[in-house]
Amino acid sequence: VKATRLVAGLVVVALLATVLFAALQLVGNDSDGPLVGGADSQAPAPTPSAQPGSTDPPTPELAEFYSQQLEWSPCRDGFECSTLTVPVDYQDPSGDTIELALLKDPADHPDDRVGSLVVNPGGPGAPGTSYAENSSFAFRDVIRERFDIIGFDPRGTGDSDPVDCLSDSDLDAYVARDPDPDSPEEGQEFEQGNRALLQGCVANSDALVGHVSTVEAARDMDVLRAALGESQLTYFGASYGTKLGSTYADLFPDKVGRLVLDGAVDPSIGSRQLNVEQAAGFEVALRSYVQACVDQGDCFLGDSLDEGLGTIQGLIADVDEQSLPTSLGGRELAVGNAFYGLVAPLYNRDYWPLLDQALQQALDGDGTTLLRLSDLYSSRADDGTYTDNSAEAILAINCLDDPYSIPADQVPDQIPEFEKASPTFGRVFAWSLTNCEGVHTRASEPVPVVDAPGAAPIVVVGTTRDPATPYQWAVHLADQLQSGVLITRDGDGHTGYNAGNDCVDEAVEDYLIDGTVPPDGLDC
C-alpha cells in the first residue's frame, strides 16, 4: 500500500520492491535475528507438472479460460514472457477479454524444481513482471534455485491494458502539488486535482477501468494457477499483495497451497482507519530513523529526537514556501516531491544513508536527491516519461475497492486525530481522505469478509516498525484467517523477508520449499 494511496500512495506495495531496487545495490543489509526452528506440520506441495483436476473451472462458463496453455518465449535478457487471457467481467465471461502480461524467471536448478511461485509486489499498481525480473533482489538464492518465479501485471497495470488517467506533464504536477493544503482555496484545488485524475481514468481508458478491483485480480490468479498446471497456488505477496493473496484465499480456499503474506494489509478496516494507522506507522519509522542518527552522535539533524524531527518538519515547511533548485534539467523540488522523497527511504533501513544524503543536501538548499527519490517512488524516468502507470492505477484500484471519501471542507475536522497519530505526516494523510471524491466507477462484486475457512496454513509476516503496513495489521490479518500463522520480525522497514533476518528468511523458505509450517507467533 503506498503512502496516502499515492497522493494516495504505496502500502503495503507498496513495497517499493520494484521502485528502489537500485538503492539495494548501494547499501548493505539489516542485522540478523536469532534462528528459531519450525513446526512439524506440513503445507500442500506445489505441483511440478500439471495435475489432474488442476484446470477444472469453478463454473462451466469459465472452461475456456481454465483450459488455456501458456506459450513462453524469451524476453528481457534471459527471462521468459507469455500472456494469459481472462474475461474483463467475470459476471459476463462471454464478453470482452484482456491479455495479462506474464514474466517467468526459471528455476536455477531445474532438476530440483519444486514448482511455480506466483509473486506480487504490492501497490496496488506495481507491475509484477518487474518484480519477477528483479527476483535476484527480492528473493534469496534458495528460492530462486527451486522455483520458477512468476510475475504478472494485474489487470489495468503495467502491460496488462494499463489504465491511463493523466498526461506525463499533468502527472508531474499531480505528484508535485502540496499534499497538505494551507487554505480553503488550496483545499478545493486539491480536491479538483483528485477529481481530474479519476475523470481522466474513465475518459482515457477503456471499459476495464471499471473492472480493476482486487476481487477480479484474485480471480485472475486462479486462472493463472490453472494455466501453470498447479493444483494449489503457491504465492508470495508483499504489501498490497497480501490483500490480493488473502482475497484469493477467501475466494478459493481449496486451492490454497503455500501462501506467504508479507507486510500485511488489514482487510477488515476502512480507508479512514487505514490512513490514521498508516500515518502513525510512518511517524514511528521517521522517529526510528532520527533516533538512530542521534544515537550515532554528531547528528546533522540535531542533538535530540525532538530537535531532529523539528528540523525535518521545518525543511518541509520551507519547501512549501519556496521550492528548491536541483541539478535535474531546471526542475525544482516542490513540496509534494519533498514529501515522497522523504517517505520513500523509510521503507527500508538500508535506504537510510540515501535519506541522510538527501536531507543534508536539501538543508544546504539543493533538492536534487529528494527529487530523485520522489521520481523513483512514482516511477518517473529521467526523460520525463513514466516507466509504469502505478501512480495512476493505485487510485483507480483503491477507489474501486473502497470508494469512501469526504469533501475538502470536512477535512479540518479530521486533522486533530491525524496529527495526534502523526505530528509530521498526519495532515497529509487526513487530506488523502478526499482522494476518491468525485467521478468513479463502481465494483461489479462486493469485497469479501476475509477468513478463508478450510484453507491450508497461510503464513503472515509483520515487522514491528513497518511504516507502510503497521505491525498490528499483520496481527489482525493472521487472526482473521482461520489458518493464519504469524511471524513477527523485530525491525525497521517495510516487509520482513530478505531484510537481513535469518529467523524470518529460513522460516519462510522452509515453508515454501518443504511445507514446514512455522509455529504461530514465531518471534524473530
Taking only the tens place, the pLDDT of each residue in 230-241 is: 999 999 999 999
Place of cell 538548499: 365
pLDDT of residue 38: 37
Please report the pLDDT score of residue 48 as a whole number: 52
Give CA–CA dist 493/471, Å, rounded.
11
| Contact present, 415 and 185 (Cβ < 8 Å) | no
Residues 54 and 231 sit within 8 Å (Cβ to Cβ): yes
What pLDDT is stored for residue 1 in this prediction? 58
Q: Is 239 designated active site?
A: yes
Dist. CA 256–CA 149, nearest whole Å = 17
Tens-place pLDDT, residues 11-23: 334 334 334 543 4
Residue 2: predicted pLDDT: 52
Q: Which of 350, 375, 466, 505 is catalytic?
A: 466
Q: Say which residue, 8 or 355, is predicted with more confidence.
A: 355
- From 135, 405, 494, 505, the catalytic residue: 494
Query: What's residue 445's pLDDT?
Result: 87
Tens digits of residue pLDDT in 456-510: 999 999 999 999 999 999 999 999 999 999 999 999 999 999 999 999 999 999 9
Does residue 494 have an active-site annotation? yes
Per-residue pLDDT of 46-99, as tens digits, reads 655 566 678 889 999 999 999 999 999 999 888 999 999 999 999 999 999 999
Q: How many CB atoms lie within 10 A of CB 321?
A: 8
pLDDT tens digits, 294-339: 999 999 999 999 999 999 999 999 999 999 999 999 999 999 999 9
Q: pTM of the full predicted structure? A: 0.91
Residue 50: per-residue pLDDT:
65
Instruction: Kindly tell me the burial class for residue 317, based on how many C-beta atoms sit within 10 Å of its own C-beta (0-12, 13-18, 19 or more).
Output: exposed
pLDDT of amino acid 211: 95
Catalytic hit among 54, 116, 160, 239:
239
pLDDT in tens, 18-49: 345 434 333 333 333 322 233 445 666 565 55
pLDDT in tens, 374-416: 999 999 999 999 999 999 999 999 999 999 999 999 999 999 9
Q: Please write the tens of the pLDDT for every residue from 251-277.
A: 999 999 999 999 999 999 988 999 999
Alpha-carbon distances of 104 from 77, 89, 154, 359, 518, rounded to whole Å? 12, 26, 15, 38, 28
What's residue 188's pLDDT?
84
- Work out the average pLDDT over 125-146: 94
Beta strands at 73-75 and 79-87: parallel, antiparallel or unpaired: antiparallel
Least confident of 95-104, 337-346, 445-454, 479-488: 445-454
- Map residue 2 onto helix, strand or coil: strand
Q: What is the mean predicted confidence (pLDDT) over 169-190?
A: 90
The whole-number average pLDDT for the span 158-172 is 95
* 201: nearest Cα among 229, 161, 240: 161
Q: Longest Cα pair distance anywhere in the chain, in angstroms?
A: 68
